Amino acid sequence: MDTKIIFPENFIESKIELPISKSISNRLLLIHALGEFGFEGMNWSKADDTQVLKKLLENKFDIEDCKAGGTTFRFLLALRCLQERKRY
């Protein structure tokens, strides 16, 4: 079975207002890191997990400490594997 990926000819610009939550914020941070998607004026969650993930994605560190955030760790680990980022 062949898989065919169809890309849209034009992007649709829209505005979506989402409730502030750690879960939504963390997922949007990963979507942003995976592609060239802009999130203007995002009101990110103030939860520690979100703030730590945001900091780790915005900066380059030799050691990435996710603190106590299990979700932060799982999301960041998956992202780094996709990015083929090597750690020793």
Contact 54, 44 (CB under 8 A): yes
Q: What's the mean per-residue pLDDT of the chain?
A: 85
pLDDT at 43: 82
Predicted TM-score (pTM) of this structure: 0.72
The phi and psi torsions of 40 (rounded to 5 degrees) equal: -75, 135
As a whole number, mean pLDDT of residues 42-58 equals 92
Is 80 exceeded by the pLDDT of residue 31? Answer: yes
What percentage of the chain reaches a pLDDT higher than 70? 89
